[in-house]
Structure 1
């Protein structure tokens, strides 16, 4: 992880958009931030909406604990019959997902605008 990624503060916000519930994340998602990330994603899944978008455009580092939250979100969305879109937004996030092979099972889109249009 670069020094800049280490210094970037973790931030996770859940907001109602006219088309979906959006979880906007920035900073590093690792073991120290996993619980907060998971809590926000779970909150979004519990809201009354047919679609949830996880926007990772501001993420500077994505470790395996964050990937586990994404897999769990996909499973929860399927159980709740909700549409889930994961807006990758950066090469850092895309690389982490591709290296693990999770790109084959996670509903990835390039950015938030694309997610909200689908």
Structure 2
């Protein structure tokens, strides 16, 4: 059963594009924002075979709370046989993704178009 994505927040816009649920993060993603985003992210990643793109194009700040959201989303999607893609061009966030090793598990794309065009293995394996 396909459901509509959950409601939005000031930190997250949820929409559908080409069969993917696109989660567009915005603003400062810190512990407060992450607490608001987490239930929306869980709703978007709960279905078996979910196809999800997380787009960080609208962020201004991204701390370890945001990293936990990405890692959680990845685990949930992979556990359910789905596909997760990431869009990120924010220089400091890309650096944090590389330093933590998350960029190897969830390779960032430079645009939504690139992410949607990537082969299925974009979300890595366990």
The bucket for the TM-score relative to the shorter chain is 0.7 to 0.9
1:24–1:112 CA distance, 2 compared to 1 (3 A) = same
Number of the residue aligned with 1:52: 52
How many angstroms does 1:107 deviate by?
3.6
State whether residues 48 and 82 of structure 2, in contact with CA within 8 Å, keep that contact through their aligned partners in structure 1: no
Deviates more, 1:41-50 or 1:87-96: 41-50
How many angstroms does 1:48 deviate by?
7.2
Number of the residue aligned with 1:106: 106
The two structures have a TM-score, normalised by structure 1, of: 0.81
- Aligned-residue CA RMSD in angstroms? 1.8
The two structures have a TM-score, normalised by structure 2, of: 0.77
Any stretches of 5+ residues in structure 1 without a counterpart?
A: 1-9
1:13–1:48 CA distance, 2 compared to 1 (3 A) = farther
- Three-state SS of the structure 2 residue aligned to 1:32 is helix
C-alpha distance after superposition, 1:5-37 (max 9, x if no partner)? xxxxx5201111123100011111111111122
